[in-house]
Chains A and B, each alone.
Chain A
């Protein structure tokens, strides 16, 4: 098996018709199960006047089952005093772990799983690491955070050995020492890590450091063009990954043509963000997820607020599960003085200024439509001789990108990094 390209060849290349049959079987088991046990699902379905008996096929489910939003979960949690927002289908004591989302955009949402060896959230990720080339006996540099569970389980499932050293803020100089010593084949990177690696690259031969790598995964926020180019210049093949509606994770394969959603684990839909109708493959839509393998807190038609493009076409790698491309978060679009833009527009602009090329910034936005464009920007104090000059150049590139002159708050990068949470810097903040 170590010579095989796929971790689970049969499942990863399951014909679509078989995949659909498998999903239908699981959905028809799930529907009566959650209706009986999940207080939030029961409430939403009663409001929509839908009963389990109305659902006799996958098509019935996607046509009739009501959506659940993060606001629904929070509202139920606050009204009922239920920490799980009505999602828990068992007693608390049936759970093995309770973990939570990063909390970047608000109060973190809790999810529970039951397991006895490997954490279910990361189980399918073993397929993704295997595709990158992680094999038994390889070392893998661990991920810095555990709030979603131990990612190193996926590494151990591949037979690999996790290097459990810090890759958090300020720790990359020592992480490079671990890389040199153990020669890992893979690591998990974030935007905050890239800012630090960018600085270290001025005094370190990064091509030599990363020479053992088969790939590095990147998540938490969009990967800027400059950061990608920089990693590639160090010989690192980057695999973008993201969450699939808080059910599991989805990674790029070696084709780098979308993130693979594991559809034996999650029913993935893409719907119109406004009216909830299905959108065609390739069109922009909101990711909707239903858990197919979590009996503790299954999500049922959960609207993730993630805007994606999705396709069910088989991938060039030979896998058949759906792929998607994360585009942004619903509501990220901002209108200032009649000009519309998304945070990525500012990201690309800042990459053009050497002192702000790590693109650490926050759009300060009390509402979606604003009169004044306020941007908090991190700069590299080591590269900056004259702050007024940096301010002028940053204003210029943002003006060119967005069409509006910004009001800038320039902060040294370490100060801005300190506002990060869970490996991520919130790009849109209210104050």
Chain B
């Protein structure tokens, strides 16, 4: 079969060290970051545990709201869903693509939307209430939290922090970052990020241009380490 033969051909090739290269804004300036295949694997393992905590299991339906340039953050989530046996669809992050998120939510047995942002939430228009009524668990970007909460939702936070991803567990008591990979610091309400793990992209105290507050100590979910509350 085609998938099998092309997969075999791909496996025979030398694999580069890098899975991909992404770009983020750090305090208003673009920064490129390289992701190794090992980075991607660890990010996927972490995302799988977060999704499992939110009840994602075999047969759960997910919509991941993200665009291709966000693959460094969201591909590990999609791969994690795949590994959990949860079918996923992608709702693009453009407002004119909000119809796709609405369509999937209307037609498929979706149990979670991961990564909804304000653009898509507003793009849903009159369909937003229906989406919130149908989909039991919604992970939203910081800019969409109050809008969704105002519409009756109880979203958990999904945030890009520079090259890192922060995700609230079901406790909704601050977003976790993978402490084995990243360390956050806060000065005067501003957040700074450093690399903690053996990542291809190493940074130290990089200003994120994001404001928020850090919480140290164990979360009721059992995770230890930092949690971050991001100012909308």
Contacts and interface: CB of A to CB of B under 8 A. Distances in A.
Interface stretch (B101-109, B135-143, B146-154, B217-225): B101-109
A314 interface: no
Interface residues on B, range: 35 or more
A96 B67 CA distance: 18
Contact of B3 (A2, A11, A123, A127): A123
B68 A1 contact: no
Contacts of A151: 68
Interface in B30-74: 30, 32, 58-59, 61, 66-72
Interface in A134-164: 136-137, 139, 142-147, 149-152, 156-164
B7 interface: yes
Interface stretch (A112-120, A331-339, A399-407): A112-120
Contacts of A161: 16, 18-21
B14 interface: yes
A156 B19 contact: yes
Q: Is chain A's binding surface mostly helix, strand, loop or mixed?
A: loop
The interface centre, meaning the residue of A123, A158, A166, A248 with most chain B CB atoms within 10 A of its CB, is: A123
Contacts of B21: 139, 161-165, 178, 182
B231 interface: no
B107 to A, nearest CB: 4
A2 B13 contact: yes
A144 B70 CA distance: 10
Q: Is chain B's binding surface mostly helix, strand, loop or mixed?
A: mixed
A47 to B, nearest CB: 25
Contacts of B27: none
B97 interface: yes
B103 A145 contact: no
A379 interface: no
Nearest to A419: B96
B15 A136 contact: yes
Contacts of A95: 87
Contacts, number: 181
B86 to A, nearest CB: 8
A157 B69 contact: no
A93 B96 CA distance: 28
Contacts of B70: 164
A99 interface: yes
B13 A136 contact: yes
A177 B25 CA distance: 14
A290 B136 CA distance: 37
A145 B100 contact: no
Contacts of A248: 2
Nearest to B14: A136
A146 B92 contact: yes
Contact of A158 (B10, B82, B87, B109): B10
B5 interface: yes
Contact of A262 (B2, B22, B66, B71): B2
23 contacts: A11-B5, A93-B87, A97-B88, A97-B89, A98-B61, A99-B90, A100-B103, A108-B100, A143-B68, A144-B68, A146-B90, A150-B68, A152-B20, A156-B19, A157-B6, A157-B10, A157-B13, A159-B16, A163-B20, A166-B67, A264-B1, A292-B1, A422-B92
The 5 closest A-B pairs by CB, nearest first: A83-B107, A93-B59, A157-B10, A265-B2, A159-B13
